[in-house]
Amino acid sequence: MKTVTQTFAGKFKNLEKVSRFIEENARPVGFDDNALYAIETAVDEAFSNIIDHAYLEEGAGDIECTCISDPDKFTIILRDHGQPFNPDEIPQPIIDCCLEDRTERAWVFS
């Protein structure tokens, strides 16, 4: 098992650095370009969500990125010190309503 950790300032300009860090650690495991793109997109979204929702603004804290390479799996952990997210506080979406009734990045809730 190989574990590598790097800390990045919680700023959008660091997304490229985070992607490079992920690629440097995921490519040797055997991921192809398509898989790397999917992994980097997911990490990009998670990193951005930490800035927007945990820290509420850029530069309010650091984000630690850890890559763990095992023979059978590759794990990425993003760790922050911002506001915690509690999924139980989010109302359940109404999934049987028309798409036209939904707004971008939002669900219709009961």
Domain boundaries, the chain: 2-85
- pLDDT at residue 108, rounded to an integer: 44
Q: What per-residue confidence (pLDDT) applies to 87?
A: 81
Q: Which H/E stretch holds residue 46? A: helix 33-49
* CATH code at 2-85: 3.30.565.10
Please report the pLDDT score of residue 96 as a whole number. 75
Buried b (16+ CB within 10 A) or exposed e, 23-47: bebbeeeebeeeebeebbeebbeeb
Give pLDDT tens digits for 34-92: 999 999 999 999 999 999 999 999 999 999 999 999 888 999 999 999 999 888 887 77
